[in-house]
Structure 1
Amino acid sequence: MNVNKKFLAMAVLCTIASVGFVLPASAEETMTHDLDEVIVEADRDALPGGLVRTTAKLGILGDKSVLDIPYSEMSMTQKTLALFDDPSQPLANVLQNNPSIRSSTSSPMYTDFSMRGINMNGNHMMLNGIPSLFYQFTTPPSHIIDRIDITSGPNAGVNGVSMSNNGTNSGATPAPGTINIVTKKATAKPITSYTQTFSGRGNAGEYIDIGRRFGKNGEWGLRVNAEYMDGGLSLPGAEKNEKNLFFNLDHKGEKSTTNLFAGYFDLRVNGGQRWFQFKPTTAYKGDSLPGAPDSKKNYDFSGTTKYVHGYLMTLNHEQKMNEDWSWFANFGQSRRSGNKDNQGSALKFDENGNFTGNQFNQQNESGKNVYAQIGIAGKVMTGAVKHNLALAVDRSWAKYWNNSKSYDPNGGTILGNLYDGIIFPDNYQLENFGSAKPQWEETNVGITIADTLEYGKASLLLAASRKHENFENLTGGKSFTNNNTLPTYGITYKPVDNLAFYAGHTESFSRGAVVKNDDKYTNKNATLDPVKSKQTEIGIKYANAGILTTFSYFDIDEANRYDIDAPGNKLTTVDDGKNRYKGLELTVNGKLASKWTATGGLMYLNAKRENTKEGLKDGMFVTGAAKWSGVLGLEYTPDKNWGIVGRAVWNDKAFIEDTGSKGKYEIPSYVTFDLGVHYKTKINTVPVKFSAMCYNLTDKDYWMGRGGSSTFGLSMPRTFMFSAQFDL
């Protein structure tokens, strides 16, 4: 992107932000606008325009106003999903409406994205407040989601203990925030909805959504959601097949609320390999990656697949003991099994685009996660200070099985070229190398205490989790215990009701990472030590005239853990100091005018390494992390039946390091555009909503950086999506 385009993007976003600061409105008007018909039906807590909520979850302290939470918080609604989601694409496609998040992949074979420059995936998502029910290949399917609470800030000490898994081998990375998915519940109005979707080159989906309340005063509610999807993606030769069935049963009594969510899932993605790694020859003197190839190019052999099936459930209960005190309990469990057959995690190519040193990879894997929490919460007064207290004890347990093998298929070599396509040896055969074997087991037990002290116009959040971790590497024969305290504290000052100044800090520990059980690693099955991570944020939040604006400064560090080249075309996983992420973030959401709604923002990120071995890489860039990025989504509704939707996503240039030659190579900047339309009508007496969306409107080919990694993704081609929703 040239300088003029940068200034244009910044000017547009800053102009939007200024609207929220200039237009007059009283504090009373700010958060209580009369909402139009669509918003009322979707979410009464939503800002005007209906894309973002005014409340979100503050860990064990429950739902709070976004203005009272001392870190960046954005709660996306069902409407945001309805406007921007394509179920055949990763959920990160919607998450990147938050400026702190950038998708690291366009393929549904992965779920990776970055938050404030740090790589994350499905492992970092919570479901109804329960952690670690998903992993790198899976995220919650969008059709079960009621809202998404995105915390890009210091909140580790208010959520209880959890795993910090990252990747199929569950290497540990403390997350820069959390993403909590809240599932759909039955509403007062009966729901019977049938939706059909069509996208890509033949991917068709069918969705059933049924909700009813029953019993005295509708105290019981049942919501059932089901999906069947099958067919080709916009990438020729790739396809996604997904089947699932979920139900949500809830009860609302005079003194208690209970919610049970459970279901079965079956997901397969055939093809869609999109990870690459640049391995130039010693003669290469360039400073940039070779140009991105045609994104319609397929790099899969005929048997490339990734498959997982299993079940999951969550149970949440809250019981009032009196007007001020209640106790709560949360439980969750997931079990999954699957396999993967592909040409390694990332295809390596040289400066001419020739593939080099690539091997075939097969994995059988399985995982089980169980979580339980019980606690109390209440309010007390000490003089003029009001305390909002919570105390919880929880236990998180996980076990992982894997059997992995990398090899040259049929004794041959994977050849071909980035621009011409991949060539596999003739008559290659998949090996039957056995079922998954136990790899590691981890148990975390902890106690969390939190207090929000309110006095006048100020509130102080004090929280801490005492965590006892027991980790056992079942293949390397090494185990360890790790006892630590994770503090979180923050302060919010509101001179008026619609303006908040805040600051927050937290600390967290990664658990010891396990190097992959793979012969290509010289230290396979090794266990790396836990590393402490710190995070600080200060900012301002302003709600005015239907617009909520947040501006923040953040400072995060994390372990610098990566693979280096070793003799014999092998790899070694190493720890080398820390990555430090400092930045500024602007988020804007709400209604600009009677017919215009906006969501988006801008982020500046200065990510560098420190405390590296002998200081050799201190001050160097963090691989894959762009300095500037932004997003702007707009909806224009000329009348109550029509809507036009547009979105621009911008990533500035980033850099990667060739760990073999220490070269610095640029990942060029890119801008993508999405454009769509939706229309509500009736067929006879049946309300119908038709939607059409085009993703990557200009069919741009581009590389996608991955925070903290020397690997990078390739874009998917232009994708059309059509849907029809029938409310029966």
Structure 2
Amino acid sequence: MTLQGSGYRDRLKRGSSAGTDVLSNMYSPIERPGQDLAKPGLAKVSETEFYGGTLTDTLSVADERVLLLLGGRIQQVNSDNFSPTGAVTSSYAKSAITPLVGLLVRPWKNVSVFANRIEGLSKGDIAPQIAVNAGQIFAPYKSEQIEVGIKIDHGRLITTLSVFQIKKPSGQLTGNVFAVDSEQRNRGLELALFGEPASGVRLLGGVTLFDAELTKTTSAATLGNKPVGVPSLQANLGAEWDMPWLPGFTLTGSLIHTGKRYINQMNTQSVPSWTTFDFGARYGTKVAGKSATVRASVLNAFDSNYWAGVASFSTLSLGTPRTVLVSATVDF
């Protein structure tokens, strides 16, 4: 039996000063003289608190060949929106008790078939900056996830294959006003692997195919379109190799790929897919009789230019450029 608790709180402050419009293009920018703008004052826009607790129990029969997980979660979300003067303009307080259930069956010693269903209460979306109601927090919403899969232990390598579906409310821009009046359904197929296929060689990775769709909208132009920020493909692979002729020395590497993503619900604007490679090494030894490890890594080794995140409607974040990290840890 497991009991778990969690808590979360955030405050969002925002300030802005408007200048003269610059008609340009982020891919082929046009030089314009800088503008002198007054420093904006910060005003509290919203505040959110989230508390939750989970109680689960795992039952087993047939010499643990059949495992049943039963449980429930109680969650509380409190949200406040504020006017520029600091007055509360709207408040939300919602609690929910949601069930969770999981079933695992081992027909053979190295094969496990599993299924689970879980519901969650999440804080509402925040209106993006391009909306006239930017910063507004919407009411908490429930999401639902169902997953079915199989796990096979091949000895040195373990693989899992699963299909899943996640349903959740989704926000959209109508004109320049943001509202949470849609539903987003994410279906997917995921293949993952981890283990040590050869002595001193470790792998960890996976591939996920997404079939995401806006299943309910208030606009016929967006019904059936792809949701904002959800790619059709994600893949990653990490590897480690312990060099046999230099004890304690390990080479590391990873590949990360994210497919094309749309940045608006009309699906007229998107950012392209991207792939990055990371390389590194670590060396474990003794320093004054204490265990020590020195690490060095190069992130985005080929210095690819890409958009890493689609945080919200028409809001992008740049990918990390080539970055070198060096660190050391010592046990005392």
The aligned counterpart of 2:227 is 622
**Residues 1:449 and 1:725: Cα distance change in structure 2 (over 3 Å):** closer
Q: Is the 1:486–1:508 contact (alpha carbons within 8 Å) kept by the matching residues of 2?
A: yes
**Residues 1:631 and 1:428: Cα distance change in structure 2 (over 3 Å):** same
The aligned counterpart of 1:498 is 110
Letter in 2 for 1:489: V
**Superimposed CA distance per residue, residues 414-447 of structure 1 (whole angstroms, 9 cap, x where no aligned partner):** 677635587663544424x36x558446575x77
The aligned counterpart of 1:455 is 61
Q: How does 1:641-680 map to 2 (within 5 A)?
A: 641-657=248-264, 662=266, 664-680=268-284
Higher helix share: 1
**One of 273, 283, 295 as aligned partner of 1:691:** 295
Q: Is the 2:190–2:206 contact (alpha carbons within 8 Å) kept by the matching residues of 1?
A: yes
Q: How does 1:142-221 map to 2 (within 5 A)?
A: none
Task: Tell me the secondary structure at the aligned position of residue 269 of structure 2.
Answer: strand
**Superimposed CA distance per residue, residues 187-222 of structure 1 (whole angstroms, 9 cap, x where no aligned partner):** xxxxxxxxxxxxxxxxxxxxxxxxxxxxxxxxxxxx
Q: Distance in 2 between matches of 1:607 and 1:480?
A: 29
Deviation (angstroms), 1:452: 2.1
Q: Distance in 1 between matches of 2:292 and 2:53?
A: 49
Deviation (angstroms), 1:504: 0.5
Task: Tell me the secondary structure at the aligned position of residue 621 of structure 1.
Answer: coil
**Residues 1:525 and 1:594: Cα distance change in structure 2 (over 3 Å):** closer
Letter in 2 for 1:462: L
**Superimposed CA distance per residue, residues 198-256 of structure 1 (whole angstroms, 9 cap, x where no aligned partner):** xxxxxxxxxxxxxxxxxxxxxxxxxxxxxxxxxxxxxxxxxxxxxxxxxxxxxxxxxxx
The aligned counterpart of 1:465 is 73
Q: Is residue 2:137 matched to residue 1:533?
A: no
Deviation (angstroms), 1:561: 1.2
Q: Is the 1:653–1:667 contact (alpha carbons within 8 Å) kept by the matching residues of 2?
A: yes
Letter in 1 for 2:57: D
Percent identical among aligned pairs is 26
**Superimposed CA distance per residue, residues 377-435 of structure 1 (whole angstroms, 9 cap, x where no aligned partner):** xxxxxxxxxxxxxxxxxxxxxxx555422222xx555677635587663544424x36x
Q: Is the 2:72–2:99 contact (alpha carbons within 8 Å) kept by the matching residues of 1?
A: yes
Deviation (angstroms), 1:590: 1.1
Q: Distance in 2 between matches of 1:638 and 1:703?
A: 35
The aligned counterpart of 1:712 is 316
Q: Is the 1:610–1:617 contact (alpha carbons within 8 Å) kept by the matching residues of 2?
A: no
Task: Tell me the secondary structure at the aligned position of residue 16 of structure 2.
Answer: strand
Q: Distance in 2 between matches of 1:576 and 1:438?
A: 21
Letter in 2 for 1:607: A
Q: Is the 1:625–1:707 contact (alpha carbons within 8 Å) kept by the matching residues of 2?
A: no
TM-score (norm 2): 0.81
Q: Distance in 1 between matches of 2:53 and 2:282?
A: 48
Deviation (angstroms), 1:493: 0.7
Deviation (angstroms), 1:552: 0.8
Higher strand share: 2
Q: Distance in 2 between matches of 1:650 and 1:438?
A: 35
Letter in 2 for 1:491: L
**Residues 1:653 and 1:424: Cα distance change in structure 2 (over 3 Å):** same
Q: How does 1:556-567 map to 2 (within 5 A)?
A: 556-566=166-176
Gaps of 5+ in 2: none
Deviation (angstroms), 1:463: 1.5
Letter in 1 for 2:302: T
Letter in 1 for 2:138: L
Q: Distance in 2 between matches of 1:584 and 1:543?
A: 19
Q: How does 1:282-293 map to 2 (within 5 A)?
A: none
**One of 185, 191, 199 as aligned partner of 1:580:** 185
Q: Is the 1:624–1:712 contact (alpha carbons within 8 Å) kept by the matching residues of 2?
A: no
Q: Which protein has greater RCO, CA pairs closer than 8 Å, 6+ apart?
A: 1
Deviation (angstroms), 1:705: 4.7
Deviation (angstroms), 1:496: 3.4
Task: Tell me the secondary structure at the aligned position of residue 706 of structure 1.
Answer: strand
Q: How does 1:45-64 map to 2 (within 5 A)?
A: 61=2
Q: How does 1:275-286 map to 2 (within 5 A)?
A: none
Letter in 2 for 1:555: Q
Q: Is the 2:48–2:77 contact (alpha carbons within 8 Å) kept by the matching residues of 1?
A: no
Q: Distance in 1 between matches of 2:126 and 2:309?
A: 24
Task: Tell me the secondary structure at the aligned position of residue 56 of structure 2.
Answer: strand
Gaps of 5+ in 1: 1-59, 63-128, 134-368, 370-399, 567-571
Deviation (angstroms), 1:653: 2.6
Q: Is the 1:476–1:525 contact (alpha carbons within 8 Å) kept by the matching residues of 2?
A: no
Q: Is the 1:623–1:710 contact (alpha carbons within 8 Å) kept by the matching residues of 2?
A: no
Deviation (angstroms), 1:473: 4.2
The aligned counterpart of 1:508 is 120
Q: Distance in 2 between matches of 1:578 and 1:443?
A: 23
**Residues 1:708 and 1:598: Cα distance change in structure 2 (over 3 Å):** same
Letter in 1 for 2:15: K
What's the RMSD between the two structures over aligned residues?
Answer: 3.4
Letter in 2 for 1:545: G
Q: Distance in 2 between matches of 1:536 and 1:608?
A: 16
**Superimposed CA distance per residue, residues 31-85 of structure 1 (whole angstroms, 9 cap, x where no aligned partner):** xxxxxxxxxxxxxxxxxxxxxxxxxxxxx627xxxxxxxxxxxxxxxxxxxxxxx
Q: Distance in 1 between matches of 2:89 and 2:172?
A: 22
Letter in 2 for 1:502: F
Q: Is the 2:255–2:276 contact (alpha carbons within 8 Å) kept by the matching residues of 1?
A: yes
Q: Distance in 1 between matches of 2:301 and 2:249?
A: 21
The aligned counterpart of 1:597 is 202
Q: Distance in 1 between matches of 2:5 and 2:210?
A: 30
**Residues 1:543 and 1:461: Cα distance change in structure 2 (over 3 Å):** same
Q: Distance in 1 between matches of 2:88 and 2:164?
A: 38
**One of 277, 285, 304 as aligned partner of 1:700:** 304
TM-score (norm 1): 0.40
**Residues 1:683 and 1:468: Cα distance change in structure 2 (over 3 Å):** closer
**Residues 1:402 and 1:537: Cα distance change in structure 2 (over 3 Å):** closer
Q: Is the 1:414–1:425 contact (alpha carbons within 8 Å) kept by the matching residues of 2?
A: no
Task: Tell me the secondary structure at the aligned position of residue 477 of structure 1.
Answer: strand
**Superimposed CA distance per residue, residues 625-665 of structure 1 (whole angstroms, 9 cap, x where no aligned partner):** 221121111111122232211111122333333x6xx4523
**Superimposed CA distance per residue, residues 595-647 of structure 1 (whole angstroms, 9 cap, x where no aligned partner):** 21111111111111111115442211122222112111111112223221111
Q: Distance in 2 between matches of 1:420 and 1:515?
A: 27
Q: How does 1:272-671 map to 2 (within 5 A)?
A: 369=9, 401-408=11-18, 411-412=19-20, 418=26, 419=28, 425-431=34-40, 433=41, 437=44, 439-440=46-47, 442=49, 448-456=54-62, 457-467=65-75, 471-473=79-81, 475-513=87-125, 515=127, 521-523=131-133, 528-566=138-176, 572-639=177-244, 640-657=247-264, 662=266, 664-671=268-275
Letter in 2 for 1:716: T
Q: Is the 1:642–1:678 contact (alpha carbons within 8 Å) kept by the matching residues of 2?
A: yes
Aligned length: 323
Q: Distance in 2 between matches of 1:401 and 1:627?
A: 33
The aligned counterpart of 1:365 is none
Q: Is the 1:478–1:527 contact (alpha carbons within 8 Å) kept by the matching residues of 2?
A: no
Q: Distance in 2 between matches of 1:593 and 1:470?
A: 51
**Residues 1:438 and 1:580: Cα distance change in structure 2 (over 3 Å):** closer
Q: Distance in 2 between matches of 1:675 and 1:441?
A: 39
Deviation (angstroms), 1:563: 4.0
